[in-house]
C-alpha cells in the first residue's frame, strides 16, 4: 500500500519541522529533553488504545518484590468521565498515588513479542513526534508536564491550548470533559500486565492472554498518551468512548474547530489502514496550529503528513527536518 503526499504539504511539513527545531513557538526536542533519534513507541495496530482501562484493585495485594519499580499511578485512568468539566493549568499537580510494577523478564518478553516484527525506534521530533506500531517508545520521556485538572497532565503548550479550546466551547454551549491524558511507560506496563492477569483468571492460557490483552490495552511503548500531547474526551451528555460521540454537538464543533488550537482528531475510520488504529473519534492529538490546519484542510493523518508509507519504503528518514522523506 502506498499513497502520494501533496508537494505543498511536504514543503509545509519541512518548514514546520525547521520551525520545530528552531523552537519558534512549537515544542522541540529540547523541550522534551530527548534527542531527535531517541526511541518512541507506536500505538498497537488495528486496536483501540483503551484509555478507559483502570487498575485492578486486587493487583496491589501481591508480595513485595525487591526488584519492583515504583511508579506514580496514572491520574488519567482513575478519573470518571464526568469528573472534569472546567480544566485549569498549573505547574503544581497533586502528588499521585503509588503503584508497584514488577517488570520481570517474562513480562519484558511478553511486551517485546507483542510489538510488530521489525519495529523501529519512535521518531521524536517535538509536536510532530510519531508513535505507532511500527515506531516504538521503549522508555520514559522527560516532558514539561503541567496539570490540566483532576489529576490529568499534558505538555505545557498543548495544555494551554486545550484549556482555551474547552473554555471557548463552553462559551457557545458545549460541554467537553477530559477523561485521559499523559501516561507513563510504566503505567502502560501496569495496565497491560493487569489485563493479562485478569484474562488468565478467566481461564485463558498465558500465551492467549497476552495476545488478547494486546487487542484491548495498548502494548507498552505503542501509546501516544506517553508523549503528553494526547487526550481523550467525552461530553456532558455522552460519556462513552465509542462511535456514538460523533452524534454530539461537541464532537461536531471539535471536528470543525480543533485545528484552531493545534489539535487534530488522530484516528479517523478511513485512515485505519495507514495508522493501524481503529476509529477513535474521542482521541485528540496536539501537533501545533500550522500542522493541524494543513492536516485538516488536506484530510491527512499524521503518517501521511509526515510522508511515512507503510509499504517498506522507509529509507531516507530525515529526523532534523521534521518530516519523513521516503525517497519519492
pLDDT one-digit tens code per residue, 2-30: 344 444 444 455 445 444 433 433 333 33
| Of residues 172 and 69, more confidently modeled | 172
Q: Is residue 327 part of a domain?
A: no
| The pLDDT value given to residue 276 | 82
| The pLDDT value given to residue 134 | 87
Mean pLDDT of the chain, nearest integer: 74
**Number of domains the chain contains:** 1
Q: How does DSSP classify residue 242? A: S
Average pLDDT over residues 216-245: 95
- When pLDDT is cut at 50, 70 and 90, the band that residue 264 belongs to is very high
Average pLDDT over residues 85-110: 64
Span of 89-98, 145-154, 212-221 with lowest mean pLDDT: 89-98
Q: Is residue 209 part of a domain?
A: yes
Q: Is residue 313 part of a domain?
A: no
List Cα–Cα distances, 160 to 128, 232, 252, 285, in angstroms: 18, 16, 22, 14
Average pLDDT over residues 236-250: 97
Q: Is residue 1 part of a domain?
A: no
Q: Is residue 315 part of a domain?
A: no
Q: Is residue 137 part of a domain?
A: yes
Span of 104-113, 149-158, 267-276 with lowest mean pLDDT: 267-276
192, 193, 198, 202: CA torsion to nearest 10? 100
Average pLDDT over residues 136-149: 92
| The pLDDT value given to residue 102 | 82
Average pLDDT over residues 139-162: 95
Cell numbers at 306, concatenated:
509526515
Q: Is residue 144 part of a domain?
A: yes
Range among 49-58, 204-213, 314-323 with highest mean pLDDT value: 204-213
Nearest to 77 by CA among 165, 194, 213: 194
Cell numbers at 114, concatenated:
507483542
| Structural domain boundaries enclosing 86 | 7-306
| The pLDDT value given to residue 98 | 55
| The pLDDT value given to residue 168 | 98
CA angle 11, 39, 1 (to 5 degrees): 55
Average pLDDT over residues 189-199: 95
- When pLDDT is cut at 50, 70 and 90, the band that residue 99 belongs to is low
SS3 88: coil
- With residues binned 3-state (H G I as helix, E B as strand, rest as coil), the percentages for the chain, rounded to 5, are 40, 15, 45
| The pLDDT value given to residue 69 | 40
| The pLDDT value given to residue 16 | 53
Nearest to 75 by CA among 146, 3, 168: 146
Query: Residue 264 belongs to a domain with what CATH number?
Result: 3.30.1380.10
* pTM of full prediction above 0.85: no
Residues noted as catalytic: 280
Element (H, E) at 98: strand 98-101
pLDDT in tens, 35-76: 333 333 333 334 444 443 333 434 334 444 444 444 444 444
Sign of the CA dihedral 294, 295, 300, 305?
Answer: positive
- When pLDDT is cut at 50, 70 and 90, the band that residue 308 belongs to is low
pLDDT > 60? residue 228: yes
Average pLDDT over residues 106-120: 93
Residue with cell 498518551: 225
Q: Is residue 323 part of a domain?
A: no
Average pLDDT over residues 266-292: 93
Element (H, E) at 265: strand 263-267
Amino acid at each position: 500500500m502506498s499513497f502520494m503526499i501533496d508537494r505543498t504539504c511536504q514543503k509545509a511539513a519541512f518548514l514546520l519541522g525547521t520551525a520545530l527545531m528552531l523552537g519558534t513557538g512549537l515544542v522541540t526536542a529540547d523541550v522534551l529533553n530527548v534527542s531527535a533519534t531517541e526511541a518512541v513507541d507506536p500505538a498497537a495496530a488495528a486496536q483501540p488504545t483503551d484509555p478507559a482501562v483502570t487498575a485492578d484493585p486486587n493487583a496491589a495485594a501481591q508480595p513485595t518484590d525487591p526488584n519492583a519499580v515504583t511508579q506514580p499511578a496514572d491520574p488519567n485512568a482513575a478519573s470518571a468521565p464526568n469528573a472534569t468539566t472546567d480544566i485549569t493549568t498549573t505547574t503544581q499537580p497533586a502528588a499521585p498515588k503509588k503503584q508497584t510494577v514488577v517488570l520481570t523478564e517474562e513480562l519484558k518478553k511478553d511486551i517485546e513479542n507483542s510489538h510488530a516484527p521489525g519495529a523501529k525506534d519512535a521518531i521524536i521530533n517535538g509536536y510532530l513526534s510519531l508513535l505507532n506500531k511500527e515506531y516504538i517508545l521503549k522508555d520514559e520521556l522527560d516532558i514539561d508536564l503541567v496539570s490540566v485538572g483532576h489529576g490529568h497532565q499534558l505538555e505545557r503548550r498543548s495544555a494551554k491550548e486545550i484549556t482555551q479550546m474547552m473554555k471557548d466551547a463552553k462559551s457557545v454551549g458545549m460541554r467537553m470533559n477530559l477523561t485521559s491524558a499523559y501516561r507513563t511507560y510504566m503505567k502502560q506496563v501496569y495496565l497491560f500486565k493487569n489485563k493479562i492477569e485478569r484474562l488468565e483468571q478467566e481461564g485463558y492460557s498465558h500465551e492467549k492472554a497476552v495476545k488478547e490483552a494486546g487487542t484491548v490495552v495498548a502494548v507498552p511503548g505503542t501509546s501516544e498518551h506517553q508523549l503528553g500531547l494526547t487526550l481523550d474526551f467525552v461530553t456532558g451528555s455522552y460519556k462513552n468512548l465509542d462511535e456514538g460521540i460523533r452524534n454530539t454537538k461537541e464532537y461536531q464543533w471539535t471536528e470543525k474547530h480543533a485545528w484552531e488550537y493545534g489539535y487534530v482528531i488522530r484516528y479517523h475510520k478511513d485512515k485505519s489502514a495507514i495508522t493501524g488504529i481503529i476509529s477513535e473519534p474521542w482521541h485528540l492529538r496536539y501537533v501545533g496550529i500550522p500542522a493541524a490546519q494543513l492536516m485538516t484542510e488536506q484530510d491527512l493523518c499524521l503518517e501521511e503528513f509526515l510522508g511515512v508509507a507503510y509499504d517498506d519504503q522507509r529509507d531516507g528518514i530525515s529526523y532534523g527536518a521534521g518530516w519523513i522523506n521516503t525517497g519519492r
